Each structure stands twice: as structure tokens, then as C-alpha cells.
Structure 1
Amino acid sequence: MIRGFHRWPGLLAALVLLVLSLSGAALSIFPTAERLSSPQATASLSIADLAERVQIAHPQVEQIRRAPSGQITAYWFEGGTPQAAVIDPVTGKGIASADPNPLERWLTNLHRSLFLGDGGRIAAAAGATAMLVLALSGAALIARRAGGWRLWFTPLRGPLSGRLHVEIARVAVAGLLLSSATALWMTASTFELLPDGPTSSAMQTSPSGRVGIPLAAINILKETPVAELRSLAFPASGDMADVFTIKTDRGAGTLDQGTGALLTWSDLTGWQRVSETIYMLHTGQGAAGLGLILGLTALGVPVMTVTGFILWFAGWRARPRIRGNATAGHAETILLVGSEGGSTWSFAATLHAALTNAGQTVHAAAMSSFEPARYAQAQRILVLAATYGDGDAPASAKGFINRLQSLPAAPAASLAVLGFGDRSFPAYCAFAQTVAETAEAKGWRILVPFDTIDRQSTQDFARWGRVLGAAMGVDLELVHETVLPAVRPLTLVSRRNYGAEVQAPTAILRFALPKVPLWQRLTGRGFGGFSAGDLLGILPDGSAVPRFYSLASGRCDGFIEIVVRKYPAGLCSSQLLGLEVGDTVSGFLRANPGFHAGRSHAPLVLIGAGTGIGPLAGFVRSNAPHRPIHLFFGMRHPDSDFLYAEELAAWQREGRLRLLATACSRGRMPRYVQDTLREEAAEIAKLVCKGAKIMVCGGRGMAAGVSEALADILAPAGLSPALLKAEGRYVEDVY
């Protein structure tokens, strides 16, 4: 629901929001420019002093005004012609034309009414309403994605367009909330919907019948500093009944022109003070610095509009087409999906169709949209959850555990949790298991025991479906057809062979970068935007289950590169190592933002063995800013499988790589990569204390040995791999 509130106002009001934000950003410059160019009155200068100086320079002066910026303007007649000038408070003389800036006036009319009069003001108010809804719903979505308000600035992962959209929103949302709310107040004031009109004076004539009192003899003018002045109107020449009219920051009044006596006075009402504050906050008049800040936040709107549209379009293309999806409030079964790459959604669609055919009303949604209060008719909640990385929540399940834990009591609906994963990974279905354990600890009634699906097994899914159907009292046959990802042919352009001497054939395979649609380039998805550490999925001949290889290159490198080792009876590795230059293979890309080097300037400690060097080499290759990188690489023998030997030497000379430490497990003095870590213990501890990030890639056995060695190295500093993981400074890509 929140996502819908955020999406549709943005799409429908995009053009108006672009006009309002760009014109508002431009207008924010003028208060600062006016303040910088206007002479400022000294703190000791009184209104009487200023009025006398202006009257000497311009004897027929009729009015003096002071703008919130401090600029003073005088108005008078000269030869029957009205005149106006910006005044130097020191001399009282005019120093610049008071004609309004035509560009500022044009932008103001565009910003306030779109040149359409009252209809345009209403349209602008509708745009401000849309912005208010976008800011509030966007803030809620950011908090949900981050896992709570306290984690507002937690690091993000995902495509560039998504991260840029959220990063700008994090900074700009407060300013946009302020701008939109104050705009609506000002519109209401314009249409006289608020009781903030000016207070009229009861007396308008001078009772003394005298004229010509010196300005210096009028007490209120002597005692009030110019800094409080808003306007001073002089009595008309020859009209003995006319009065002085003064307006200050405290109120407004009239003065006898013969005696200077205060005839009437009205303090500013509470509504007037609030309205003036709102005007200042929105325009920056009187608070130029704030105006510039709001202008900068407004500049984020065009970027967020573009990235928001890209996200919507990409999501629309990727979103599974689930027919007959009931609303959350009317569904008997709530189906919540946690997916990183999208494959879990295809299983959800199969389950949704089967339950619907069995007579159930089903609502399917992402786990991140979990809101039990909306599930008025729900009898059961089914959770289908994949696991990301080392037991983390996938992209569409961010914040689910936190909301689950914050429930005051378990819902009446029963629960079933099904995990999706690959048993070859250490954290197999760990996130789904955490969901199940957390729900059970909250006292949730369990519909069927926690179960898992290994490598998208349709047999496992059908088996679980029969168990679920029995618990529900319906005949449920889940016949799932694996949805193959959209693949592209990749042409091999070069290969370098290693490992034959140690009976471990390995190759660095480089493929040409395929042409991609424009929408993928804009969204940074698939082959349109990838980095070292992302995953290349290969569909081997005769198999519907893809194998994944960490990328050793990014799109900016202009090619796709992976490192492959042949495994006994390995279907995919055998096919890849059998390729010759010019041959093709079907592949697709999957983002793996949790294993990106990032753009920080903090030191980077890279640790890998064997084919795990692939993404680590990619990080070094892209290190043009010369970030301090220390690479620890384990191999069998330098003469057989020293992968990237020539490149690593060149990158050291270029300054992309600060330190290269190698370990060979075969030879006269066998060593493993964890041995090299212990030899450099002091340097590693020093780097970590400076904020270094540690990235480990390779087999599970190697990763376990590395973690143990680092635990010993970091213990004297009060640190550990577990603590660094919690901070996002220790990441693994383990297979």
C-alpha cells in the first residue's frame, strides 16, 4: 500500500513536480544574491535616522520599505513621475534601480501559478500535495528497506538507479517535506482559507491638525532599530489629516504627523506570525542560507524523477504476472515472497495459481510489505523466502524480521515458511530458517513444519505442496515449470590455460560484451551495468539449473571475464573449458552487490585462493583512484596456476595494488593463504583499525581457515570477523 502511495503520485505529477522543483531551485538563489548586493544598516541605526537621511536626499519621499534580506527601498515623486531606488542606509541616497528582476518575476509566476492564474495555483497546490505524499511514503519505504528508522543510513545494495534514488531521498526528504507543506499553507492563505489577514487600523486621521514634526522627535521612530522596520509611509504633502503609517516586526500603527503621538497600534496576531514564518521557510526571504539548502534539495527531484521512473519500468518488466491476485484485506491466504534474483517469484506464481484453482482467495506480495493489520480475512500466511549471502534477507524481504519481532502478539492466522537455496552454500536457507524460528518464538501457530527447496527442485516443491494441501484440507498438486532466465549468447574472444601440471585444469575466459537494450543500460541491469563480483549465470547444455561464476570484470572494462576450474563430472565447467575462441555459450547476469569493493577510500584487504582470485583481480583492475589494496593469494604452484601473474605485476607498478602476498601449497615449503596472513598480522591489524574492508573469495575450507587466522590476528585489538561482518567490513563469496 505504501509503495502504491509513493508510485502513482510520482508518475502522475512528474511534469508538474519537475517544473516546480527546478523553478524553486532557481528562485532560491535570489534571496542570497539580494542580501549580498544590498548595503546593510548598522545595528545602532534607528528608523528616525534612516528616514531623515532619505528625506534629505529625496524630499518628496512617500514610503520606505525594508525587505527581509535587509535591502531598503524608497519611493517618491519627482516632477510628477513616480520614482524608486535601492537606498544606501549610510547616505540615504539611491544606489541601484528598484525595478524587479524580470527573470525572478518570470520564475515566480511560473512557480506559483504556471502562468495559469488561479487554475495554475490549484495545479501547483496539487503538485505540492503529490510531493508531500511522495516524501512521507518515500521516508516510510526507506525505513522499511533499511530495516527500521534507526538504520536510516545503512549501506544499500542493488542497481545504481535504485541506490541513487534512495541516497538522494535520504538527504533531501526533510527539505522536500518542508517545501511542500509550506507551499500548501501559502496556497490556503492565498485563497483566504486561513484567518491570517492583515489587521486594519481604527483611526486614519491626524487629530492634532498640525504638521511638520521633525522625524528625530518621534519617539517610536527613535527607539525602533531599522532591523525591525518593514515599512514607513509618510503623510501626503498638504493633507493635515493624513498620518504616518509604520509596520515593524512587532505590529503596525499610525502616528500623528504634527505631534508624533501613537494613534493606533495592533500587534501581529499568532496566525500572522505563523504565516510569515511559513513564507520565510518556503522562500528563503530572511533566511537565505535555508533557502539555498531547500533549493539544493529541490534539485534532487529531477534526478529522483528519472531514477524513479527507471525503477518503476524495470520493476514492471521484472514483476511476475500473477493473475487474480486478491487484495490483502479480502484474501484468505497471504503469500509473502522474499527474493533476490526473482526466481522465487516463479514458484510463488505456481502456488498462487494452484491455491486459486482450489477455491482460495490469495494475495501475493513481497515480504517487505508485511502488514498484519491489513490481513482482515487471512486464515494463513505462507512465506517463500530465499537467502542472500551469508544468511541475510534478500532484497524484497528487507525489514521483515524487525517487523516480525515488533508485533505485540502473533496474528490469528497460521504460518508456513518455505526456504529456497543451494545446499552447496554454507548459509543454506539461513534467512528462511531465522524467519521460522522468530515466528515460533513469538508464539505463531505453525501450519506445517519449516521446509526447504534445494536448487529450485520441482520435486521438493511438489512434495511440500502435498503436505501443505493436507494441512489445509485441499487437494494441492504443485506442478512447477522452471522459468529459465533470459539468456544471451556470449562469444569467447580469448582464453588462458593454467593448472595442467597439477591436474587442475583452469582457464581465464574472456567473452565479448553483448549488445543490450536501452532500458537495461538506463537501469543498470543485466549486461547493461555490472561490476566485478557480480555473477555470470551459465545454462549448460541439457540442464535447466544455472551455474554461477563470479565476474572478474565490470562493464567499463568492455568485456566479460570469469575464471573456471574443471571439476570431475562437472557439466558446466567441462563445457566452458571445452570452448574455443569464437564459440558461444548462453549466459545471463545476476547482481551480487554484497560482494562489491565499493567506492570508499578505506584500505581493502583481498584474500582468495584458486579461482577465487577472479573477482579480486577485477577489484584491483578497476582501482584507478589508487585505493590501498593488499592482496593475499593462495595457489598450488607458481609455475602452473599463478593466475593473473603478469597483470598483478603491472598493477603493482601502476599503483593499483599496494601489496601482493602469495602462498603455494605444493613445493619445498608448502604454505596456505592463512599462513601469509599470520606473517602480515601486524599490518593487517593496523589496516583494519584504519577502517579497512576484508573480502574473501574461494572454497569453504579456505574461508574457514582465513576466518580462524583473522580471529587470532584481530583479537588483541578487540575485533573479530563476526564484528566486522556486522559492520559490513568482512564479506565472503564462498563456494
Structure 2
Amino acid sequence: MLRQLHKFSGLLAALLVSVLAVSGAMLSLYPAMDRARAISVAEGQVTIAELAGRIAATHQGVEEIERTPSGTIIVHHLENGRPASVVVDPVTGQSLGPYERSSLERWTKNLHRSLFLGDGGRIAAALGAAAMLLLTVTGLQMTARRMGGWRHFFARARGSRSQRLHVETGRLAAAGLLLSALTALYMSAATFGLVPSKGAPPLEAPIEVSGGPHLPVEQNQALQRFDLSELRNLTFPDAADPKSAMELKTIGGAGLIDPTTGEMVAWQDQPLPQRIYGFIRMLHTGQGLWWLGLILGMTALSVPLFSATGAIVWWSGRRGRPQIAANAAAASADTIILVGSEGGSTWGFAATLHKALADAGHTVHTGPMDKLAQSYPTCRRMFILAATYGNGEAPANARSFLQRLETIAPPPAYPVAVLGFGDRQFPKFSQFSRDVEAALARNGWRFLIPAETINRQCPQEFARWGQALSAALGKTLVLDHRPATPRTLPLTLVSRRDYGAEVQAPTAVLRFAPAKRSLLERLFGRGRPSFNAGDLLGIVPPGSALPRYYSLASSSRDGFLEICVRKHPGGLCSGYLHDLRPGDTIAAFIKPNPAFRPGRGKAPVILIGAGTGVGPLAGTIRANSDARPMHLYFGGRDPRSDFLYKHEIEKWLDESRLTSLRATFSRVPGGSYVQDRLREDAGRLRALITGGAQIMVCGGREMAAGVMAALTDILAPANLDPIALKAQGRYVEDVY
């Protein structure tokens, strides 16, 4: 419900709140500009009487003296019988130049306050402020959930570039947007009389004034009691009316002064509602707090960015949900596929499964998990493909599934199979699918095959699950899922270094250079996408439609793309890459992997890798030009055969790109594994991690499991564990 509210209110109000935000950002500049041209006067240095006397001596026909919240003194007077306004120096009373309100400022204010539509526009602007408040509050709640709770609110965001930008900008701008929206709503309510704003009616003068010659204004005792900093307006008496009073408005109230005697003949303190309204207005406009106005203006500029990234995320989700061909009605289908998906990718796997089952002669219906029905009259089997959102939660179209499930009793006769989708880097990997599995078991449902999980939308794991499903159904299903392949770029192999032949683990470090771009590609920015160490290079080998992914050991600033590849017996892609020679060209694409990067700041980084897993860690070290503390734990088989990046590591140690190296090898006398070396350094590691260090692990699953077990034991005395560090974004893995 929360996400739906955020999504639809954002889509509906995007243009309105963007217009209000941009116009508000423009208006935030004017208080700062006023403050920049105002002449500062120390408090207690000049009284209102002194200022008025200096102005009266240098200007004829003074009608009003105005002090803006930023401190600028404006004099409205008659010059040659015509009204004029000038800015004056409060110390000398001399004119600094004519004063004229900016026509652009007036136009922008009208746009911001009413959209040039009168009261109807003011109502629309209030609705825009309410939408901004709703979007900010729901966005904060969603971000907290996605990060694993409010304690981890500022942990590193994961997801696509648009998702990360949406979240990271929101965290920075949220406080300013909340303040702007709340103050705007209060001012709108005051405009329509829903809350008091002006307080008591203005002072009028039924009182008698002397009516004699006016006292020189600098000798006016009432004005001498007020410092210049308290002034808002001083209106001079009407020269044609000897009974007219001088009117003074200050921060604290308003009064009427007898210009003949200089006595205050009436005074009224500023009412509380007016003080509250003035304070709210100052917070919203920055008039009187120019620095706050600039901060709010900068946060307001994030709103168009939110609108754009939010629309991209929404459209990507819609585009990611494919149209299911030959989707039978649920009431007549013998096979039901229910899908829980947040970003849309799980629907692609569902479509592949749907087609394979339909080709095998089944009548198949595919729909969202939230559409779980009480019964399916002709159903013989059910499949549930469930992704996990954020910190183990249900995706958008499966929020009510578990509640619906509890209402189905007795359990149906047909069996069910559960397949979960997620990312092992998250501490609650595929948690929602596990919750679904547990709920089904608790309610007595039968399982067709044991529940399984798919990591990072891996087509190979999906195909293996299809083999287990084929055995259970007694018929062959080929789940050849082919996600859309991004546009590839040609890469030329420029060098290779071979390792591991002596230990029967042939490994090559392959360095590619992007092909030269044509003039048109340079003009339109095509051909060389940016990437970081740890991002993935996707390669589709000849004879296959599925891409294989290899972690990059370089970043775009290096000018080349480098990967470490171990040759596996019968491996289609690894064999293809090992057969390459310098000068050969391949087609590949970049897949961002933002979850596997060092966190922000200068905290130390502990790098743990074995075999080819050292590749992205080497790229991280290579990019460490700021000499951030980095400690590498590397595991191999034999230092004479497969010590990958040995010479580069020695160089990086000399350059302080790498702080320390702990290498260990398993096929030497007294050999050990990388997790053994971790245990040997338990005290050192515990001190680094309790001091804020981040951990990056790359390599095979068995190695990663051993590393996690070792670190669990190492951190136990400090009341820490890798799961908690994962939730904070301080423990990241690239596991294969």
C-alpha cells in the first residue's frame, strides 16, 4: 500500500510539484541577494530616530522608511512631486541608488503562489505542497525498509543507477523538503482563513494628537527607544493633515506616535498568531534567514530529479513485465503460475516457464501473487516465482498473498513448487520466498519439488531448476531463459598472462581494449561506457544464447577492460576465452554491479579473494590513488604457479595503494586456505572491523562460506557478525 501510494501520487503530481519546486528555488536567491547588498550595522549602533533624522536631512518628501528582513533600508519619498524609492546607507542616510522590485521576482512569486490562476491556483499550490509532504514521508519509510530499518538508513543504496540516484538524493533532501512542504501548507491554510495569521486588527487613531509643529524626527523620544534592527516600517504623518500620527511597526509590535511631542500615544504588541505566521513565513521564504533559503532552494532542485528518476524506475518496471502469450483463464487452466516481482525481471522467467509448459501440452495461466484465488477448478499443479524486496519483504504485487493464503482451507489436492529470486549480497537473501514456503508447509500444502532459489537472475540456475522439474513431471522441459542482451561493443585482446598450468588450474588474465570509435560514435557518445572494478563483463560465447559474466579487474579510467578467467573442463565460454590470442576481437557488454564497491569515506577496506576472485579486488586496489588503507587476503594453490597479480601487488604496496598483503597457498608444505589466514589474524581483523573497516569478499561459494564462518568466530567477542555488517553495507560479496 505504501509503495502504491508513493508511486501514484508521484506520477500524478510530478509536473505540479516540479513547477513549485523550481520556482521556489528561484525565489530562494532573492533573500541572499538582498543580504549581499545590505550594509550591516551593529546592534545598538543606530536608533530609528537617528536613521530617520539622517534620511529626512538628505531626502525631501519622505513618506515611509522600510527595513527588509535582510537589513536593506528603502526610502519611499516624493522627488519633484513624483513618488520614488531608493536604497540608502543607514550610517550616512545617503542614497545608494534607486530601488525597484524585480519584474522576474514578481512573475516567479505569482507562479509559485497561484500559478497565475487566482484562488484556484492557490488551492492547486496547496495540493502540490500536500503531495510533496506525502511523497517525502512515504519515500522515507520506503527507504528505511529497503535499507533494513532506520538504523541503517544511510547504508549504501543498491539497485539500478536511477534507483540509487532516487534514494541517495532523497536522503539528502528529505529534511528540506519536509520543512518546505509543512510551512507551505501552513501559509496556504492562513491564506484561506483556516488558521489565524494576522491577529488583531491594525491600529487606528481615534486618539488626539497635538497638531502643532512637528518635532525634528531625530529628537523623537519614542523612536529613540528602538534600535534600527527592530524596525519594519516607519510611516511619516500626512503633511496636509496636522492631526495625523506617525505609525511605527517593529518586530515586537506597532504603535502611533505624536509627531509634535514625540510621545507614543498607542501601542499594541504583536499578537501570537502573527508571530507564529511570521516565523513560518521566514522559514519558508528565507527572508531573514538567507542561508536557510539557499539550503531549501538547493533541496527543491532535487524535485525534478526525483520526478525523472521515479518515472524511469516506474517505466522500467512496466517494461520489464512481458506480455504472456496464450495466457489461459485461471478457471480453465491445469497449471497456475503466480509471480511476485518488484522490478519486473521475475516476469521474464515466468514467461519462459509458461511457454515451456504450454509447449509440453499444458493449459497455463500466469498472474500476480496477489490474485491468488480460493480455488482453481481444473488446476493440477501450481508454481510460485517470488522475488524479495528490500529487507526480506514481499514485492509490490505480492503484499496480500500470505493473508490470502491463510483463508484457503483445506489445502488443495494439487502440489506447489516455490522458486525464489534474490541477491546473495543482501542479508535476507530470498527471504520472502522462504516465508511463502514456510506458510505453505504450515497450512498443509504438498510440494511438487523442494523449494529452490535463483541468485541474481542467473539463467543457468534457472535451467538447472528446470531439469529437476522435468524429472518430477516426467517430461522434458527446456527452460532456456534469454534476458534481453544489451548493446554490445567490440573488444580487442591486447595481452594475456597465463597461470596455473602446473597445478591443473589454467587461468588467464585477459586485457581488452575498446575498438576505435568512429566520428559519429564520438559525437553521440557511443562506444565506451563507463565502468568500475567489480562491474561485470557479459560475453555470449559462440554456440550459446546465454551470456556469461566475469568481474572486471579494471575501471574505465584505466583505458582497458581486464578479466581473470579460469578454464573449466567442458566450459563453453571459458574455453572460448582461453583460445583467444592478442589481436582477436569479441563482442561484450557491461553490466553494472554497484553493490560490490568500496563504501564512501576513508575507512579501511579488507579485501578477501581466492583464485580468480582476486580480479575485481586488484582493480579496486589499482583505483586507490588516494592511498586509502586496504588490506588484501589472497588464497591460491602454489605461489610459483598461480600467484595472480604478484608483480602488480608488489608495485601497489610500494605506491601505498595497498597497505598490507596476507597471501596463503594450499598446495605447498604446511599450506592453508584464506580463511585459515583470517583466523591467524583474528585480533588485527577485529580491531580493523570494530574501527569501521569494510569487507569485500570475492570467489567461489565454498570459499565465501568459509570466510563468513571464520569472521563470525572472529567478531563474536566484539558482539558483531557478518550478517549485521551486511545490513550496514560493510560486508559485500561477489560469489560465483
TM superposition score category, shorter chain reference: 0.7 to 0.9
Counterpart of 1:106 (choices 104, 107, 121) is 104
Residue of 375, 393, 404 corresponding to 1:400: 393
Superposition pairs of residues 38-77 of structure 1, within 5 angstroms: 38-40=39-41, 42-43=43-44, 47-48=48-49, 50-55=51-56, 58=59, 60-77=61-78
Instruction: Return the offset for 1:717.
Output: 4.5
- Say whether the 8 Å CA contact 2:64–2:77 is kept in structure 1: yes
* 1:634 to 2:635 alignment: yes
Task: Tell me: CA distance 1:453–1:709, structure 2 relative to 1, closer, same or farther (3 Å).
Answer: closer
Which residue number in structure 2 is paired with residue 577 of structure 1?
578
List per-residue Cα deviations over 1:302-338 (Å, max 9, x = no partner): 544554565456556545346999xxxxxxx995534
- 1:154-553 matches, cutoff 5 A: 154-183=155-184, 196=197, 203-204=204-205, 207-208=208-209, 210-212=211-213, 214=215, 221=223, 223-258=225-260, 268=270, 272-301=274-303, 303-304=305-306, 307-308=309-310, 311=313, 318-321=320-323, 335-338=338-341, 343-349=345-351, 362-363=367-368, 384-386=385-387, 393=388, 396-397=389-390, 400=393, 410-411=403-404, 418-420=418-420, 430-436=430-436, 439=439, 451-452=451-452, 455=460, 457=462, 482-486=481-485, 488=488, 491-493=491-493, 494-513=495-514, 528-543=529-544, 546-553=547-554
| Mapped partners of 2:154, 2:197: distance in 1 | 40
Q: Are 1:4 and 2:2 an aligned pair?
A: no
Rounded Cα–Cα distance in structure 2 between residues aligned with 1:126 and 1:219: 49
Contact 1:210 1:259 in 2 (8 A): no
Bigger shift: residues 583-592 or 234-243: 583-592
Provide the C-alpha distance between the structure 1 equivalents of 2:218 and 2:561, rounded to a whole number of angstroms.
Answer: 83
**Count of aligned pairs:** 692
**CA displacement 1:446-490 (0-9 Å, x = unmatched):** 69687336645469569979999xxxxxxxx99966234315365
Distance 2:270 2:471 in 1: 75
User: Per the alignment, do residues 433 and 201 of structure 1 end up closer, same or farther by CA in structure 2, a change over 3 Å counting?
Assistant: closer
8 Å CA contact retained: 2:596, 2:734: yes
Where 1:175 maps in the other structure, the secondary structure is helix
Q: How far has the Cα of 1:552 moved from its partner?
A: 1.6
What is the CA–CA distance in structure 1 between the aligned matches of 2:9 and 2:66, rounded to whole Å? Answer: 44
**Native 8 Å contact 1:129 1:180 kept in 2:** no
Which position in structure 2 is the counterpart of 1:136? 134
Pick from 7, 14, 20: which aligns with 2:23? 20
Question: Shift of residue 562 of structure 1?
Answer: 1.9
In the alignment, structure 2 segments of 5+ residues that lack a partner are 328-335, 377-381, 455-459
Measure how far apart 1:384 and its partner are. Answer: 2.4
Give the 3 Å change call, closer, same or farther, for CA 251–319 of structure 1 in structure 2: farther
Question: Take 1:428 and 1:128, find their aligned partners in 2: how far apart are those partners?
Answer: 41
Aligned letter for 1:281? L
- SS where residue 495 of structure 1 aligns? strand
Question: Is 1:28–1:294's contact at 8 Å kept on the other side of the alignment?
Answer: no
The amino acid of 1:592's aligned partner reads N
> What secondary structure, in the 3-state scheme, does the structure 2 residue paired with 1:147 have?
helix
2:619 aligned partner, one-letter code:
G
User: Aligned equivalents of 1:526 and 1:134: distance in 2?
Assistant: 39
User: How far has the Cα of 1:294 moved from its partner?
Assistant: 0.9
Q: Aligned partners of 1:11 and 1:324: how far apart in 2? A: 36
Is the contact made by 1:21 and 1:302 (CA closer than 8 Å) also made in structure 2?
A: no
Q: What secondary structure sits across from 2:601 in the alignment?
A: coil
SS of equivalent residue, structure 2 residue 419: strand
Residue 179 of structure 2 aligns to a residue whose secondary structure is: helix
What displacement does 1:611 show?
1.3
Q: What letter is aligned with 2:77? A: W
1:625-704 aligned at under 5 Å gives the runs 625-704=626-705
* Segment of structure 1 superposing worse, 724-733 or 628-637: 724-733
CA offsets per residue over residues 682-712 of structure 1, 9 Å max, x none? 4433322332112222234433443444455
* Secondary structure class of the residue paired with 1:640: coil
* In structure 2, distance between residues paired with 1:400 and 1:670: 43
Per the TM alignment, residue 99 of structure 1 is displaced from its structure 2 partner at its CA by 1.0
Question: 1:389 — aligned with what?
Answer: none
- Secondary structure, counterpart of 2:213 in structure 1: coil
Provide the rounded CA distance (Å) in 1 between the counterparts of 2:545 and 2:565.
Answer: 20
Which secondary structure does the structure 2 equivalent of 1:294 belong to? helix
Work out the CA distance in 2 between the residues paired with 1:465 and 1:5.
Answer: 41
Give the match for residue 607 of structure 1: 608
Change (3 A) 1:552 1:465: same
* Structure 2 match to 1:329: none
Instruction: Specify the code of the residue in structure 2 equivalent to 1:696.
Output: V
Deviation at 1:18, TM superposition (A): 7.0
SS in structure 2 opposite 1:637? coil
Equivalent residues of 2:482, 2:546 under 8 A apart: no
Can you give the 5+ residue segments of structure 1 that lack an aligned partner in the other structure?
326-332, 365-371, 387-392, 469-476
Opposite residue 506 of structure 2, the aligned amino acid is: P
Other structure's SS at 2:640 match: helix
For residues 515-547 of structure 1, give each alpha carbon's deviation from its aligned partner in whole angstroms, at most 9, with x where no partner exists: 999xx99xx999844322233344444455544
Whether the 8 Å CA contact 1:62–1:234 is kept in 2: the answer is: yes
Which residue of structure 1 aligns with residue 332 of structure 2?
none
**How far apart, CA to CA, are the structure 1 residues paired with 2:82 and 2:326?**
75
Letter in 2 for 1:451: A
Cα distance in 1, alignment partners of residues 196 and 615 from structure 2: 69
Residue type of the partner of 2:697? Answer: V
Measure how far apart 1:298 and its partner are. Answer: 2.6
- Whether the 8 Å CA contact 1:86–1:96 is kept in 2: the answer is yes
- CA-CA distance at 1:89 after TM superposition: 4.6
In 1, are the aligned partners of 2:695 and 2:732 still within 8 Å (CA)? yes
Of 26, 31, 36, the match for 1:33:
36
Deviates more, 1:450-459 or 1:661-670: 450-459
Say if 2:350 and 2:385, in contact at 8 Å, map to a contact too.
yes
CA contact (8 A) 1:339 1:397 kept: no
Percent identity over the alignment is 40
Q: What is the SS of the residue equivalent to 2:241? A: coil
Letter in 2 for 1:435: D
| Letter of the structure 2 residue corresponding to residue 733 of structure 1 | D
Tell me if structure 1 keeps the 8 A contact 2:74–2:99.
no
**Residue 244 to residue 318, structure 1, CA distance change in 2 (3 Å):** same
Shift of 1:670: 2.8
Q: 1:277 to 1:383 in 2, by over 3 A?
A: farther
Q: In the alignment, is the contact (CA less than 8 A) between 1:233 and 1:245 conserved in 2? A: yes
Q: Secondary structure at the match of 1:434?
A: helix
* CA distance in 2 between partners of 1:112 and 1:379 (Å): 59
